[in-house]
Structure 1
Amino acid sequence: MLTEDGKHLYVSYDEYHNLIEKLALKVFQSGWQFDTILCLARGGMRPGDILSRVFNKPLAIMSTSSYRADAGTVQGHLDIARFITTPKGEIAGRVLLVDDLADTGHTLKAVFEMLKSNYAPITELRSAVIWTKGVSTFVPDYSVEFLPTNPWIHQPFENYDSMSPEMLLEKWKL
């Protein structure tokens, strides 16, 4: 649900999963065949996992990090892992790069360029996200929702960003 001022988008688990299914349909209806899904951890892990299951394709993972401060609400320096975890040795062929959103586009653009220059076995690379913000400098190949007002997206699992094991003990009275 988008707030009236357009500054916040609150997403339930059901909405989140419906959007991932719509993303899968966009990729499927394009007719593009791919060999591997490469998700960007952490935001792309849930969509990547579901797309991997729907398309029955191996899931590779690359860690990136730019949101760290204030429970993941302040963007900082971008770190991109040097290695990709994949069940099939080396990532190769046609690769679908998956993340949750194209926010500023900085992360996706940097990863896209790094993959194209450092991973010669990748013959074709396309990108898929749930949301693309109006300020994004990167235009994904597949996206479900365009957000011209650039709201902060409150994803259903972000309450874990500020949760601790002690808080879980209190919650569950263990």
Structure 2
Amino acid sequence: MVMSNDKDLWVSWDEYNHAIVDLARMVHESNWQFDQVLCLARGGLRPGDVFSRIFDVPLAILSTSSYREEVGKVQGSLDIAKHITMTRGSLSGKVLLIDDLVDSGVTLEKVQTHLKENFPGVTEVRSAVIWCKACSSVRPDYYLQYLPNNPWIHQPFEEYDSLNPHQLSAWLKKGEPS
């Protein structure tokens, strides 16, 4: 197991899953009621799914992307999808915007502006993330962990970033006893 330090925060699957539920507890204890969850793909997909299930509200998905270079460690220009994916209707009412983390704050800020400009049925937006870095230009309404040293967060699903389809058999065997 790799140890976390001021530059790197290593997160296991157990820690990650527990953090999502702990963030849900925090939102619940605030007594704020929301009508829909809007998660930012890709980082907010897992937290958004869990929140949608726990709070029994519809899940909407908005794809955004800003990390493109050096295996996702250099921020490029932000792309926001034109459409939000949801099963019925349009995004409206009170919306909880969920992502895994806020780094520079650019994504959170621009998505909130995008929602105000393009979704008049939305009456209120609050944001929730697991990790909030000190370097962020904005603070989410809810965050589980404040990171004053702005470490790079190594999330458990990142192992899939370097896995190719032709490696799947070998990857599956690596955890099997000989």
Answer yes or no: same fold by TM over 0.5.
yes
Q: Distance in 1 between matches of 2:171 and 2:24?
A: 36
Unaligned runs of 5+ in 2: 174-178
Give 1:3's aligned residue.
4
The offset of 1:2, in angstroms, is 6.1
Calculate percent identity across the aligned residue pairs: 56
1:17–1:171: structure 2 CA closer, same or farther, 3 Å change rule? closer
1:11-68 superposed Cα distances (whole Å, 9 cap, x missing partner):
0000001110111011100100000000000000000000111101110000000112
1:54-99 superposed Cα distances (whole Å, 9 cap, x missing partner):
1011100000001122222221111000100011221100000000
Q: Give the TM-score normalised by the residue count of structure 2.
A: 0.93
Instruction: Look up the equivalent residue of 1:96 and give its one-letter code.
Output: L
Question: Is 1:116 matched up with 2:111?
Answer: no
SS in 1 for 2:70: helix
Give 2:22's aligned residue.
22
Give 2:42's aligned residue.
42
1:172–1:143: structure 2 CA closer, same or farther, 3 Å change rule? closer
1:1-174 aligned within 5 A: 3-4=4-5, 6-172=6-172
The offset of 1:172, in angstroms, is 4.2
Divergent runs of 4+, >3 A: none
Q: Give the TM-score normalised by the residue count of structure 1.
A: 0.95
RMSD between aligned alpha carbons?
1.3
Instruction: Look up the equivalent residue of 1:27 and give its one-letter code.
Output: V
